[in-house]
Structure 1
């Protein structure tokens, strides 16, 4: 029997016999019923025949049908076996094991299982492929970002204004920039010869003096140190770099030239010390001058009564008291000058020197497109003036001229002597070819806060300050301007001789013997000085109201301000400074005249005086005659 015959299914006759035995009880039951019913032989055979036809025959036909299906299956198996025999040379070993229908089915199941496994593996392979593509894309992006970051880091290092060096923990140089080489004047050849930082800096084979690398390796704390290199001060900052194990494996060192900064710090520190000394001195001078003022005030009163009673021997002794007080005042003045608190210091100087010394600064201020022309008369006389304030006048006028010119033009500064009826004067003339000043505003340009410039371009205090300085030096200002042609300012200062004559004339005249009907508010925190001043003023028929602090002074002015002609105000009070009191008083009456007494020339007070015409200054200590004269000038001018 061949392989095909071992697999074919034959007709199963046992099933036919089984069906026939199954139907025998039914046939027997039918025969029994026939006998019991008394039917004849012919009827019994008929019933039996019908049973056979309707029961047994269908079963036989069903079984035949099943056998036909087996035949078809056997045919299919024959075809499959034929196909297998055709490929017997290739599949001889595999099909040698197939000996039955069950084995073929098992093989088919195995192939199906293998197909499922292959599909699962293929799915996993596709997932791995997608993951690989994603990983590859990410790696490409990271590579691009790394190259970009590296490029940016390189640019940052090279474009840094500070010198930069990166070394390992032993000092071997990893990277440095051009700024470092320029800062320490390191030639490029040295970078190719040496490896370590100390070799590059000093060409020596040992660490630099004061190197802080060992300390940082020990403590892990970044360190600063200053290096003196050829007269320059270099600030070195060393920062440790840590690896994954939290160990220091590199240093980042930055180098910056801080010479100017350190020099500025030195100047600021010195200025701060001098300012502290100045504040101490100003406090002392204020109290000391108050004491001197009491001494001078009462000595003047005693001197007056002694002269009146012709006690000439005592008059000489009183003069000695006054001279001692003046010497003490001179000592305080020197101390104030030393501490820079007495900033207005008049001295004999040449106006030409002031112009020449700030000429280069003026050229930077006005710009390259505006030319500066100087026409200085070398025969010009000296004047008695404060050098700083003279320079401020020149700068303010040139800045105004620059703004009037615009982009391109010329500023001319001239000096020359002028003879007038009142004496000899020195003229400082500043001319520009700018837009000029309209005639209808020429009488307003010296008013505080008045400006022809756009909003935010000027404060309106420049010319007001110039006018205040000029008047404080006994000078005058003349203006000549036409729209489209330019502007000329002529400032006339009395020369040294004329100034002394004017001072002497001023001392001898305009000192009234009585101020009958005058009413003033005296604000002074020193009791002795207040009593001395009040006694003098009442002798001059002046009605005096007194206040010892700023709060009481403001309240008194609020009550009696409309009836007051003058306020004498001390610049330093226990609860507020004199300028604050002046502001509050002026807010209630803008026309009130104020004579402020001060022990030193505070720049803030001087600026306020130059802006507000109602405010006059009186330097302590002063004589009774000087006080009376100052009151007359303030009230009646």
Structure 2
């Protein structure tokens, strides 16, 4: 360590004429400083590469010499270094000595006139080395800072790597949790469906089995009760299917302008009959209410479900308020919701004074088959159906509740912005029987449905032609066969019913089409699916509805 320090604090002396160099080296040694004497600039630069605390150079050694190696060394010094140089001049001072010009080029220069006293040289060298040591201290601090920065950088890189690993782990855990929640929801959904459908199928299968046994024994009395039991169970199953489609936002909606006040008022008597005598029904309807856009049948079902839920929340009686209002939703509100655009909405709210719900119940209120009612008193699909209906209608639904104070459910439906025109439905009571020669083309891939539809129309006097898919139906459409109406399932194998209707209208312009569907994603919103002269009914349907639609469309 001492030898290392001696090299970096030594003096390199260049005084080639006479004994100046030896004398200067001797003075330094006597003063306790180390040094080395060299004969020319090349040797000086070689020694510089090994280390030096200062240079002592006689001015005459620089005159006429190639200063480029020395200048290059000085210019290439690191930022912390400014090598001290003692320039030995002749009597007369730097102002009168041309060596002063060299000093200006060399940088950190101290001029020392000859002859000089040994103490003067020692003083100059001591001052120069003191400054050099401060440079070394600055270098060491820079090294420490650099090392600290490197350590900090390594620490940051390690932290970044740990953050990335932690983030990846959190994402993995989040995905695992989401998958677990999804599987729990699927399990809850399938379990609820299985439970309800098993009950309904028991009613259907049991009633049919009893009918078969009685008919095989020739007993024909009291069959109506068994038939009613089977039909009731089947209708319950159909209702459950519709609620599931509503929850999944896949039901077929017939959206149109709706005067919500008129709809609510028309349901007043039904709502009142659905409530206990101890519950007071109050309707607060905005007289300046906008026209909403929704499926009126689904809206009626949603309102009835909300009123029944409110009734069940007030077993000891209370007050139920149905209100309508206009509401503009800005971007701050809609950005926090999915499938909701800023704009004008018509709001239908049902407020009860019942028991209310805690927050953990509110958070699950829209889950399918989630219910707080006792077993057998609720399917848990009412609110989930309303949620699905609101989202599919490009609207929204909210719940506000406080334990002991009551609950308010608000259904937001978009304002109708089109031309109202003639939207009122005209009910025409017509006999369902066919007129002479009227023929229906039935395209249905399910043989049971196809046979039932054919039999019903045949009983009413309609001629019919059957096809199991679109490929079989196209030659019939392209023939001379009379066809007054095309009845087609939407979800056919291969070409679907909507595509078949398009081709059919190329063969027969103005062809009337009645679609029947159990579920068709692209037919979920009828306004974007049906052209003029097309209508749709959903499975399962009553034969009265089917025959009325057939008569209505053919007569139109």
The structure with the greater share of residues assigned to helix is 1
Task: Confirm or deny a common fold (TM above 0.5).
Answer: no
What is the TM-score when the length of structure 1 is the normalising length?
0.35
